[in-house]
Amino acid sequence: MIGIKNVASFIPEYALDNLQRVEAFGESSEFITKKIGALKLPRKDDTEETSDLAVKAIERLIEASEGFEKSSVDALIIVTQNGDGEGLPHTSAIVQQKLGLPKSIAAFDVSLGCSGYVYGLHILKGFMESAGLKNGILVTADPYSKIIDPDDKNTALLFGDAATATWLGNSPAWNIGPALFGTDGEGEGALKTSGSCLTMNGRQVFDFAAKNVAPNIKALLEKAELEDSQVDAFCIHQGSYAIVDAISRRFKGSQQKFIRDIGSTGNTVSSSIPLLLEKHVLGSDCKKVIISGFGVGFSWGTALLTKNTN
């Protein structure tokens, strides 16, 4: 059974300081600390492409994973909506070449936003099992700095750049599933690129997440025949401090198990959940973890991860 073997990440060193910037947007520091939650927003270098962030995350993954060699990689997915160039060819092909991965790899990009990691785990796991592959890498790399209008406070103070890489294979540390997904294209206009710029109706996105995510998590718990008290950690997409807080309040008694870690990265789109896993889950005593991603589309997905005790 294919599952998660390891997670690594690349976060650009350079970061914007939101507390220094907030006044220019006509907002108080409380807007940063209580609503958005992001003190720093990492920013890739202008010369770095999406594929470069992916390459750095994969290099760290391989370095951190004993027995994992480039030559053994046979599948690569990149979750992004801001890949290299103009969409053709796919960024995963460019990464194959930059890293010198075997030409026998299956590689494709998945277009999803903040729900992308939860989907991506099941896409890669299922694809590998269906095609008989052994060592896959799931990359998240969606640098919104490429499309952010620096004068738009809805987005310019919120999104940070990051990339992650997750190794999937047999004898995993964590088993994946079950999962529940959803899609509501009525949210199409709430978060979209237009004229090469991201536009966001923050209120509409918040209301969608506040309304749909907790019921989706509860439905998944029911499907997995679990109470929230049996879950060790909830790693939900760090959309903003306020949305994580609002969703956690729907789980009385488990509220403190919702991990909050947006301060030094901001909303990193599909990278936020694997960043939480890398930092707070992999080396921990957790045995059952809920992951839940939600955003652009609208699109959402929730899954259970269970530590492999074999």
Residues that bind a second copy (CB under 8 A): 76, 81-83, 85-98, 101, 103-113, 116, 119, 122-123, 125-132, 147, 176-188, 191-194, 196, 198, 296-299, 301
3-state secondary structure of 182: strand
The nearest distance, CB 187 to a second copy, in angstroms, is 7
Which of 150/215 has CB closer to a second copy? Answer: 215
The nearest distance, CB 292 to a second copy, in angstroms, is 14
The nearest distance, CB 304 to a second copy, in angstroms, is 12
Which of 7/168 has CB closer to a second copy? Answer: 168
The nearest distance, CB 37 to a second copy, in angstroms, is 23
Which of 137/259 has CB closer to a second copy? Answer: 137
Q: Cα 268–181–292 angle (5° rounding)?
A: 40
Phi and psi, residue 145, nearest 5°:
-60, -25
Facing residues of 175 across strands? 306
Tokens of 186: 């009525």
**Cβ of 188: how many Cβ atoms within 10 Å?**
11
Residue closest to 182 by CA, chosen among 159, 144, 204, 214: 214
Which of 21/98 has CB closer to a second copy? Answer: 98
Sheet holding 288-295, edge to edge: 75-79, 135-141, 163-169, 3-10, 174-183, 299-307, 288-295, 233-236
The nearest distance, CB 34 to a second copy, in angstroms, is 28
Tokens of 308: 């492999």
Which of 76/235 has CB closer to a second copy? Answer: 76
